Amino acid sequence: MRLRRGVKKNSNPLRLHMATRPKYLNLLQIRMPVPAVVSIMHRISGAALFLVLPALLAWWQCSLSSPDTFDASKSFTAMPLVKIGILLLVWGYLHHLCAGVRHLASDIDLGTELKSARFSSWLVLAVSIVLTLLIAVRIW
């Protein structure tokens, strides 16, 4: 068996490569860029809205069935914790909407450069939060 110059007889190239790899990768210590965070939040908000939709439709149907259930639903939504939950759903919807528009723009090559992608990510976060705060003022 011929060996290349500088390679020891018992050395395994795979073992040398394995020695330089990280042994433990802590995903919580990785600093992800803002576009990645917005993209992950877009997926999470879409999944959450999809999962909550049947309960919201059942609640809406129940509130429209009679005047008494409408009054009960109205008093239920007047509770502060329920309002906070509604605001979280509203923020999830608005974030999903704004991030979806951002993704549609990137599909036609608008905002695909690094600087504009970062700016549009911050813009998605800012617009969704501001719109949620405006709705919060209206609800409270």
Q: Decide if 53 is inside a domain.
A: yes
Residue-wise pLDDT for 76-125, tens only, equals 999 999 999 999 999 999 999 999 999 999 999 998 899 999 999 999 99
Range of the domain at 124: 32-139
Q: Which residues contact 101 (CB under 8 A, 6 or more apart)?
A: none
Q: Confirm whether 1 is domain-assigned.
A: no
Contact 45, 130 (CB under 8 A): no
Total count of domains within the chain: 1
**Mind listing the pLDDT tens digit for each residue in 71-88?**
999 999 999 999 999 999
Confidence band for 68, pLDDT divided at 50, 70 and 90: very high
Q: Residue 121: which CATH number?
A: 1.20.1300.10
Between helix 67-77 and helix 80-107 the angle, nearest 10°, is 80
- Over 80: is that where the pLDDT of 13 sits? no
User: What angle do the packed helices 34-65 and 67-77 form, to 10 degrees?
Assistant: 150
